[in-house]
Each structure stands twice: as structure tokens, then as C-alpha cells.
Amino acid sequence: MSQIEQALDAIDAAVGQTVDPAMLVMRAKCRALLRGYHARFAARNTYRPIQVEELVATPLWNPETKCASRTFSLAGRLDVLARDEDDRLLVIDHKTTSQDVSDPDAPYWRQLRVEAQPTHYMLLMWLNGQKCDSALWDTVRKPTISPKKLAKKDHVAATSMGEYFGAKLSETTQRMLVSNDRETPEMYEARLTNDCIKERPEWYFQRRPVPRLDGELLEQAQEIWDYGQEIILARRNARHGRNDGACMAYGSACRYLGICSGYDSPESANWRVKANCHSELPEIDGDGRDVLTYSRLRCFKTCRRKHYYRYELGIEKIDEEEREALLFGHVWHEGLREWWNFLKEKSDGSDISSPATEAGKRVDASTV
């Protein structure tokens, strides 16, 4: 099986057997993006993946006293840990966005310059005895085009030739076109693939290095320690302030808004306690309430009440459907994981130990 076939199969498996039109379109979108990603990066890839989607964990250290926390540990899942053509170790982080990525001076890149996620991951690696030289944003812009109504000439061409944007149409799609004048998911995938590969690859796919100085890692270590102390204080005093400016962030209501506004309560039948408050890290032992991740720290900085519900109480809504953006992100990540896993399987990763299992090889915290 080829690299692209392995990745496309992962997308199909993530979506599963379905007749839901929205899910079929999402699958087509992710498949087309992955074909474009492969066309843009496969032939000129200079990165040798060592680890793909692996957990990294370490005690939380106080940079001033050089002592480990008696409460918290740090953890995170790195998308890719790789070596470049000069054998430098780097973290590769996958991003999806709706913003412009083609302009190197766009606000999106300016914001990522200060985002702490790669710093968090590089710090995790350093505390585990592996010093990363850099990080890399691997960014994909979400498509803005959707399945459309076919122009008469396009409909005639597709039905007569059995092709659409260079792709051979299945018999099922050809039968549907007899009485349908809209793009099927298969046709939408073909048009979007053409856009990703031939028309606007730079619009969809960009990579940018993320330089980080040792001083920035030290600053990150101090910030994490300080936030850990604030979480402990909030626990002790049972005070979890609300940030009303975050209730409608990203254009939708916070999932805990009903509780905060008094229309619901954590004890109602609408909520359940998760076995592990870090659902993205199922390998963590216990309930995860004493584990700090980048996502958790970002949540705490955004709204302390939301952090309390999500990571202290560890509750989730029982009937809440996964939002489209989150579902897209999950399916896309499944495809990317297998794209990189294919490269990992072809390379020798024996030059580095797994940071999740090599706690005895951690560096002295005084070196960070």
C-alpha cells in the first residue's frame, strides 16, 4: 500500500460507513485536502519522523528551586517528532485554520509567533533529556468551496464522458447524474482536489519554522509553574472566576454556558463525569486532574470557571454532538497521522528513546 492510500484509508475508517450527506461531504473534503497535501510535500519531504502522535510526560519543575511539584505533572501529545536533512531534532505541529496562510505577514502567522504550544512541547522534550532545535507549523487552510449546482455544460460533459476534473466517476455517481444536477461528494472531491493541487496549493498548504530561544523555554517553564500555583490556590479557596468575554468565543456558545447562567447544573442528568478529563490522552493513569497540558493551561487562561468544569469536575454533556470543526479536525488528523506513520515505518527511529518511557534519563531541571 502506498503512502497516500494508507492515509486515505485512515480517513475512510474515521468517518465509517455512513449515508449522512454531511459526513460524506466531510470525508470528500478531507480526502481532497490530503491528496493536495501529498502532492505538495511528499516528493520534497526532508523530514524523517521518529515519533508520531506519542505521549510525552514529565514532572512539573520549579525553575527557581529546581524542585518537582508535589501536585502536578506535565504531558502532551506531539503530532510529529522528526529530524531534518541536517539531522536537527524538531517538533512538527499540525494546524487547521480558516484564515489566510499564503501571506507570510498575515495576522495568522503573527499570532502563531507568540503561541506557546510549540514552546510547551519543546520544554517537555528538554525535560525528558532531548533538546529540540526548532519547531515547525504544518498548516492547512480549510476549503471555502462546497458542493455546487452543475452548469448545464458541466452536467452534459460529466454524463457523456464519465469524468469530472480529470477523475473517473463511479457508476453510482453516473446513475445519480441522470436525475441530479448537483455535485455528488465524489465530484466535489474531484473539484477540490484539482483546486488543491493545480489551482491554489499555496492557498491551502504552508509550513513555517518556529524559532525558540532557550530563554523562551525557561520563561514558559516559569509561567507553567505559576499557573499551577494559581490552580492550587483556586482549589483551596473554591474560587473559579468567570470570564464573560469567552461565553460566545469562536461564534458559538460555551458548552458550559447553561450551567453558568443558571439554566442547568453539573448534577443534572445532562452531564456525566469523564473517567479521564484529558480525553485526547487516554494513556494517562487515573483521572488526569493533576496533569497539566497545553490545552488545559489555555483553558485556565481563557476562563477559570470553564477550567473548573472541564478539568476539576471533569464533566461532559451527555447528548452533546461533536461540533463540525472538532469532527473535521479529528478526521483530518487521522489521515495526517497515517501519512507520517508511513514515513516513520520506512525510516529507522532507533536514534532516540521514547520520552514517555525514559523518565530515568531526564536532564537535571537546573539546566532548563
pLDDT per position as a tens digit, 18-73: 989 999 999 999 999 999 999 999 998 999 999 999 999 999 999 999 999 999 99
Closest by CA position to 133, among listed 221, 216, 52, 211: 211
How does pLDDT run along the chain (368 residues), one tens digit per residue?
899 999 999 999 999 999 899 999 999 999 999 999 999 999 989 999 999 999 999 999 999 999 999 999 999 999 999 999 999 999 999 999 999 999 999 999 999 888 999 999 999 999 999 999 999 999 999 999 999 999 999 999 999 999 999 999 999 999 999 888 999 999 999 999 999 999 999 999 999 998 899 999 999 999 999 999 999 999 999 999 999 999 998 778 999 999 999 999 999 999 999 999 998 899 898 999 999 999 999 999 999 999 999 999 999 988 765 566 678 888 999 999 999 999 999 876 444 444 343 333 333 333 33
228 located within any domain: yes
At 308 the three-state DSSP class reads helix
226 located within any domain: yes
- Domain of residue 276 covers 220-317
367 located within any domain: no
Residue 202 backbone phi and psi in degrees, to 5: -70, -25
Residue showing cell 527557581:
64
Q: Show the cell assigned to 147.
A: 458542493
275 located within any domain: yes
247 located within any domain: yes
Beta-ladder partners of 80:
52, 92
232 located within any domain: yes
Q: Show the cell assigned to 78.
A: 506531539
Residue 293 and residue 244 in contact, taking contact as beta carbons nearer than 8 Å:
no
pLDDT in the model for residue 80: 97
Strand duo 271-273 + 315-317: pairing: antiparallel
Contacting residues for 2 by C-beta, under 8 A, at least 6 apart: none
pLDDT in the model for residue 319: 72
Residue showing cell 491528496:
35
| Buried/exposed code over 209-247 (b: 16+ C-beta within 10 A; e: otherwise) | ebebeeeebeebbebbbebbeebeebeeeeebeeeeebb
Residue 25 and residue 43 in contact, taking contact as beta carbons nearer than 8 Å:
no
305 located within any domain: yes
Closest by CA position to 192, among listed 335, 7, 27, 32: 32
pLDDT in the model for residue 346: 85
For 262-311, write each residue's pLDDT tens digit.
999 999 999 999 999 998 899 898 999 999 999 999 999 999 999 999 99
Amino acid at 302: T
At 89 the three-state DSSP class reads strand
Q: How far is CA 356 from CA 55, 57, 69, 117, in A?
A: 6, 6, 18, 18
pLDDT in the model for residue 322: 59
**Count: domains in the chain:** 1
What 8-state DSSP symbol labels residue 353?
A: -
The structure's pTM equals: 0.87
pLDDT in the model for residue 303: 97
334 located within any domain: no
DSSP string, 13-57: HHH-S---HHHHHHHHHHHHHHHHHHHHHSTT---EEEEEEEEEE
CA-based torsion, 102, 2, 198, 21: positive or negative: negative
Return the number of other C-beta atoms located less than 10 Å from residue 181's C-beta. 11
